[in-house]
Amino acid sequence: MRVVLASESPRRIRLLKRIFRSFSVIPSGFDEKQFIEKDPAQFALKVAEAKARKVAEEYPEAVVIAADTVVTIDGLILGKPKDREEARKMLETLSGRTHQVITAVVIYQQNQNKLLSDFEISQVTFKPLKESDLELYLDKDTYSDKAGAYAIQEIKDTFLERLEGDYNNVVGLPIQRLRRLLHRFLEEKTELEIDSFLLPEGLGVAEQKEHTYFVPGAYPGDRVEIAFESSSHQNIRARLISIIRPSPHRQPAPCPHFGRCGGCNFQDLAYREQLRQKKLYLLRVFKDYLPASYRYLEVEDVLPSPDEYYYRNKMEFSFGQQENEIFLGLKKKNLNKEHRKNKKVVPLEKCLLSTPLTEKLFPLFAELVKSSKLPVFDLNSKQGFFRHLVIREGKQTRQLMLLLVTTSQAQLDLSGFTERLFQAVPQLKSFWWVENNRIADVVSLEKMHLLYGTEAIEENLLGYRFKIYPGSFFQTNPRAAQVVYSKIAEEAKRLRTQSALGLYCGSGAIEICLSKVAGEVVGVDWDPASIKAARENVRINNLNNVRFEESSVENILPEIYRGAFDLLLIDPPRAGISPKGLRQIASLQIPNLIYLSCNPVTLARDLNFLGSKSYRINRLIPVDFFPHTPHLEVLAFLSR
C-alpha cells in the first residue's frame, strides 16, 4: 500500500512518521482562496478534500492523506497572512483571548472510490501580547505559511496562556484522530450470524472460518454487517455497521436516551434473554476457575429483579452545558475503546433506572443553574460550580433524599428554591448542599449543609427499618436485596443457626434481617460511618441479639476462637477477599458459609481456594440486581 501525504509541511511530515515509517510527500499546490465558506470546519474539510483529490488524480492507487488547518475567532477564519502587517493584525486580534484551531483530515483512494474525513478542534488562549514580544516574533519571518500567523511550538513560551484539546492538532495534524480514521479506512466488510454473547463486555460473538469476531452492539440471532481490520490473529474486534436481520430477542428500548447514555447497556434485549445470558456467563466463569468440580455445581436460574425499571435507590447525575443549554445527565456510552476517555454528558429528560421523579427534578435543577448564572463544572479546565445531583430514594417508603454537589467557588442561596422543590416533589424528606473540590469526577462529601428536612431517609426490608444517610452504603436495588436476604434467612433457619458472623456488613442489613432466625448475630466492617449506621439500625428496631464491631476483617478474625460461630456470612466488595483473609476464614473451620458476591470472577476465585480447604459448594443462586447492565449478584451456600 502506497501512502502519500498531500503536504510539504515539515510539521505534518514529522507527525505522520509516528504512524508510517515511509510515505511519499507530494504537495497539492491547491489554492484554498478559491473556496468561499463561512463555517470554519466546513471550510477546512472542503480544502483538505480538494487537496486529496488533486494529488489522487496522478496517484489513483495510493492512499492520499491531506489536511487543512484554520484559526477562527469571532466567526472569522484567519488563514495564512500575505505579509507582515496582516500577520501583526491577526496576532493582535488573538491577544488576550481564546480562539479555536480546527484541523480537517481527509483520507482518499481514487481507484477504490473511498473517502473518509473528520476534524479536530482545540481551544487556544493567548496572553495579552507585549509590543516588544510581537515585533521580536515577526522579525523571525516564520509566519507566512501558518494559519493565524503562528506555530504553537514557536510561541508557546511567550504567547500561550492555555491550550485545551489536542496539541498536535494545533501543530497541524491530529494524530489520534487520524489513527482512528485510518482504522476505519482500512477496514474490510462482511456479513455474518451472531452465535453467542460475551459478558461482561457486552459483545456479540461469531465464528467464521479461522476467525472469531467480537461485535459491540450485536446479540445472538442477529444477522449483521460488520467492518474490521484484516488480521492474522484469531480474535478480531469488529465494528457493527448495520443489522440485516434482527434477533428474535431484540425489543424496542423504552428509554428515549438509550444508545447514547451510558447508564445501561441492554434495554433493547428482552429481559428473559438477559437473564439467560447472565447465567451462561456465570457458568463460563466457574468452568474456568473450577474445572474439576464444575459439572457437579448446582446453579439455579437467575432470579429476576422484582422491578425491571426504576429499581436503583441511588444514582449520581452530572450537570452539563452546551452553549446556553443547561441540563442533567449521564456520561456518554462508549462502545469503542479509543473513546472510553470521552467524558461528555448526555442530556436526559428522565431516567428509567432511577425514579419517575427525574422528569420533575431535572428541569427544576436546570432552571436553578441557569438563573444563578454560575457555570457548570468543566472536567478539562477544573473550573466551574455545579457538579452533580445525587438522588437517593426509599423504594418501599418512597422517601426522597437529594444532594446538590458543587465546588466552593461561589455561595448559593437556595431558600426560595427549596420551597419550589418541595411543592413539586412532596416526597422530599432530606435536601443537602455538598461542597466538593476534588479534581476527580467523583462525589466526595467534603463539606455538607442540610438545607431541608432530616439528615436521613428510611427504607424497609422484611419488616425492619433502616436509616440511610448521604454517605451510607445500602444495596442499590432494595427490593432485589429483600429477595436475597429472605434466601439467607431461610438457610439460616434450616441450619438452626445459633451464632452468625457477618463480614463486610456495611450498615448491617443482612445481619439485622437474620435476627429473627439466629440466636446471636455479629457484624464486622472497617468503615466507622457504616458501623455507626448499623448500630443505629439496631436501636430503631429494638434488637438485643445483634451487635456490630468496627474493624478490618484481617484484624478481627485472629481474635475469634474456633467454634464461636456456626454460620459465616460474607458480602465483600468487588475485589473479593484478600488472600490473608481467606486463610484466616479457612482456619476458623466454621461449618456453614454463605457468600454474597457482586463479582462472579472474584467469587469463583475465592470459592476455589475455600474448596481446597474442605468447603463444598452446595448451591449457587444468581440474582439480577441490575437489569439492562452486565452486573450480576451471586449467592453461594457452602458447608464443611
Residues recognised as catalytic: 68
What does each C-alpha distance from 385 to 70, 366, 435, 444 come to in angstroms? 32, 13, 9, 14
d(CA 470, CA 432): 8
Q: Name the residue among 529, 531, 537 with its Cα closest to residue 556.
A: 531
Residues 6+ apart with CB under 8 A from 128: 95, 96
Contact 158, 130 (CB under 8 A): no
DSSP letter (8 states) at residue 559: G
Q: How many helices (H) and strands (E) does the chain have?
A: 16, 30
DSSP letter (8 states) at residue 209: T
d(CA 2, CA 107): 13
Residue 203's DSSP bridge partners are 198, 216
Contact 636, 619 (CB under 8 A): yes
Of the chain, the end-to-end C-alpha distance in Å amounts to 65
Q: Name the residue among 77, 100, 90, 75 with its Cα closest to residue 129.
A: 90
147 alpha-carbon distance from chain centroid: 37
**Residue located via cell numbers 462502545:** 335
Query: Is the bond preceding residue 347 a cis peptide, omega within 30 degrees?
Result: no
DSSP string for residues in 366-421: HHHHHHHTPPBPBTTTTB-SEEEEEEEE-TTT--EEEEEEE-SSS----HHHHHHH
DSSP letter (8 states) at residue 174: -
Contact 629, 266 (CB under 8 A): yes
Helices 84-94 and 131-139 pack at an angle, to 10 degrees, of 140
DSSP letter (8 states) at residue 561: P
d(CA 273, CA 250): 9
**Residue located via cell numbers 472510490:** 113
Residues 6+ apart with CB under 8 A from 612: none
Residue 24's DSSP bridge partners are 4
